[in-house]
Amino acid sequence: MTHARQHRIQVVAHRGASEDAPEHTLAAYKKAIEDGADALECDVRLTADGHLVCVHDRRVNRTSNGRGAVSALELADLAALDFGSWKNPDAWRGRDEEPDWEHRPGDAGGPGDPSDTSVLTLERLLELVADAGRPVELAIETKHPTRWAGQVEERLLLLLKRFGLDAPPAAEPSPVRVMSFSARSLHRVRAASPTLPTVYLMQFVTPRLRDGRLPEGVRIAGPSIRLVRNHPVYVERLKRAGHQVHVWTVNDLKDVDLCADLGVDAIITNRPRAVLRHLGG
């Protein structure tokens, strides 16, 4: 069954195609691009030696064969770890076909190669998007709290500037947006780059935001699917206030239909291929 779209809903690959491949790995993002995702979502943390890496948890214990906090490890320490074998290889190594990627020195030829499942820097992910061969947007989440208060946003904007992505024209859609549960983090981003879109992530509706308001300068709301299920009228309030709505993490196709019926602007999912097919994309 496909869902007739009332408007174009962007499908965002959550940590890459993370149902099929280990999250936040080059394999997962290659698969998401191959599957047709409109955008890629990633979380960023700062290493002890100042590199932004795509890791969700504060510690690497869950998604690698190592231990310790990302902020206490250097990039070389993380590069020595395996970020892929925790996920069943049979669940992600199969592909309908091999994508025609332009390989780089040290890159892998397939999803089973070590460099496809080693730690992924944000710089390498930006390179992947630049070489995708079609427009692919990027939704970057800053993680908080962190020992590097303010430095994450500073390093992020410096890296985006290197790629010419830090100051998009106000009248044109931006290929990058910054997301956070921290209003302070988004304020730092907007103060340094006023035209870069920001997304305020939320699990609950606080009294101050109940009428559809968002933190100053933020124009995109990022409610969880649980919040949307429990309070669908809140989406209507956000839309009436002129905000876009990007919902996470939407994996059940019934929830996809709910989001489509409510007119959300983006669905963030671990299953980009399945969601695109369901929406008729």
Per residue in 168-183, pLDDT (tens digit) is 998 889 999 999 999 9
Banded model confidence at residue 145, pLDDT cuts 50, 70, 90: confident
**Rounded to two decimals, what is the model's pTM?**
0.90
Give backbone dihedrals phi and psi of 34, rounded to 5 degrees, phi first. -60, -35
Q: How would you classify the pairing of strands 39-46 and 52-53?
A: antiparallel
The residue behind tokens 């310790």 is 68
pLDDT at 96 over 50: no
Task: Give the model's pLDDT for residue 43.
Answer: 98
Euclidean distance between CA atoms 228 and 230, whole angstroms: 6
Nearest alpha carbon to residue 246 among 123, 106, 101, 140 = 140
**Residue 90 gets which letter from DSSP?**
G
Average pLDDT score, the chain? 89
Confidence of residue 87 (pLDDT cuts 50, 70, 90): confident
Give 151's contacts (C-beta < 8 A, 6+ positions apart).
Answer: 46, 50
Label residue 204 exposed, middle or buried (CB < 10 Å: 0-12, 13-18, 19+). Answer: exposed
**Domains, the chain:** 10-279 (3.20.20.190)
Q: For residues 263 and 260, what is the distance between their CA atoms, to the nearest angstrom?
A: 5
Structure confidence by residue, pLDDT tens digits, 223-258: 999 999 999 999 999 999 999 999 999 999 999 999
Interatomic CA distance for residues 279 and 272, integer angstroms:
10
Catalytic positions, written as ranges: 14, 56
On the question of pLDDT at 102 being above 60, the answer is: no
- In this prediction, residues 118-144 reach a mean pLDDT of 97
- Tell me how far apart the alpha carbons of residues 77 and 70 are, in angstroms, rounded to a whole number: 10
Q: What are phi and psi of 229, to 5 degrees?
A: -60, -45
Q: Give the model's pLDDT for residue 97.
A: 33
Higher pLDDT, 111 or 144: 144
